[in-house]
């Protein structure tokens, strides 16, 4: 009997030891009332207490901060890109202006002949018209072919005075489609001397001018 009790007691201790770790059941031993030789063994399973899950720490603030930082980074990138784009546009505009050809009404001082004394835009424009009129008067010769064939007409002439003061891109169109008159007009205007270029904001720029030659016999 003692051996049996000792064995059960050992089992109890082992179960108790395991019970401390797992804590899922309890072994109860008691002597039976009917006989001293009988031992009642009862195993009681404990309900596992609902383990409370530790509340998750909200990462919303960190996420928000991260997202905010990303957004700010993107904004900075956007701003940097915008600045670069604007710089390119400004550079492009400056490049376009540098290579642009302006009409006389878009410049501050129109091109002038070397013997002109410029004093303001109005004076420079008047000086230019007088200068080109004198040049044509002194250099104009009616084409012999046109005289023989009795060709007359009006020729529209357009040309550019580049920022160096040189006359370039002379174009002539005749209302009668006379090649004789247009060819002579281009040849005549191309002989214009070097001029002082037009000025815009104090800088020399290319400018264009257009006038009409009337060929009559």
Strands 25-31 and 39-45: antiparallel
Looking at the structure, tell me whether residues 29 and 107 fall in a common domain. Answer: no
For residue 68, is it within any domain?
no
Cβ neighbours of residue 121 closer than 8 Å, sequence gap 6 or more: 107, 108, 109, 110
Please state the domain count of the chain. 2
Looking at the structure, tell me whether residues 106 and 198 fall in a common domain. Answer: yes
Q: Which residues of the chain have pLDDT under 50?
A: 17-31, 36-37, 41, 43, 45, 50, 56-66, 68, 70-71, 93, 96
65's tokens: 């901060």
For residue 122, is it within any domain?
yes
Looking at the structure, tell me whether residues 25 and 131 fall in a common domain. Answer: no
pLDDT at residue 114 in the model: 86
For residue 82, is it within any domain?
no
Looking at the structure, tell me whether residues 136 and 37 fall in a common domain. Answer: no
Question: CATH number, domain at 159?
Answer: 3.30.1150
3-state secondary structure of 196: strand
Q: Contact, 178 vs 151, CB < 8 A?
A: yes
Q: Tokens 């710089």: give the residue.
A: 87
Distances (CA, A) of 47 to 9, 11, 27, 43: 24, 22, 14, 13
For residue 54, is it within any domain?
no
3-state secondary structure of 48: coil
Looking at the structure, tell me whether residues 107 and 183 fall in a common domain. Answer: yes
pLDDT at residue 33 in the model: 55
Looking at the structure, tell me whether residues 24 and 127 fall in a common domain. Answer: no
**C-alpha–C-alpha distance, residues 207 and 158, integer Å:** 11
Radius of gyration of the chain (CA): 53
Looking at the structure, tell me whether residues 126 and 31 fall in a common domain. Answer: no
For residue 195, is it within any domain?
yes
For residue 146, is it within any domain?
yes
pLDDT at residue 172 in the model: 95
pLDDT at residue 175 in the model: 79
Strands 203-215 and 101-103: parallel
For residue 75, is it within any domain?
no
Looking at the structure, tell me whether residues 108 and 18 fall in a common domain. Answer: no
For residue 150, is it within any domain?
yes
Looking at the structure, tell me whether residues 41 and 110 fall in a common domain. Answer: no
pLDDT at residue 122 in the model: 80
pLDDT at residue 31 in the model: 47
What domain range includes position 210? 101-215
Which has the closest alpha carbon to 97: 84, 105, 107? Answer: 107
pLDDT at residue 98 in the model: 66
3-state secondary structure of 93: helix
């Amino acid at each position: 009997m003692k051996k049996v009790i000792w064995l059960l007691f050992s089992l109890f201790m082992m179960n108790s030891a395991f019970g401390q770790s797992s804590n899922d059941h309890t072994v109860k031993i008691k002597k039976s009332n009917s006989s001293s030789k009988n031992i009642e063994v009862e195993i009681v399973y404990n309900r596992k207490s609902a383990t409370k899950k530790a509340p998750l720490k909200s990462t919303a603030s960190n996420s928000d901060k991260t997202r905010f930082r990303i957004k700010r980074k993107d904004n900075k990138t956007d701003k940097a890109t915008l600045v670069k784009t604007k710089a390119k546009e400004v550079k492009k505009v400056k490049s376009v202006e540098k290579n642009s050809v302006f009409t006389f009404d878009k410049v501050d001082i129109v091109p002038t002949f070397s013997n002109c004394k410029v004093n303001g835009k109005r004076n420079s424009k008047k000086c230019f018209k007088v200068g080109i009129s004198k040049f044509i008067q002194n250099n104009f010769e009616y084409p012999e072919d046109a005289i023989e064939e009795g060709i007359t007409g009006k020729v529209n002439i357009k040309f550019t005075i580049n920022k160096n003061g040189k006359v370039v891109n002379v174009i002539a169109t005749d209302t009668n489609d006379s090649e004789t008159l247009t060819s002579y007009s281009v040849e005549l205007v191309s002989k214009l001397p070097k001029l002082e270029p037009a000025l815009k904001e104090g800088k020399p720029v290319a400018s264009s001018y257009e006038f009409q030659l009337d060929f009559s016999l």
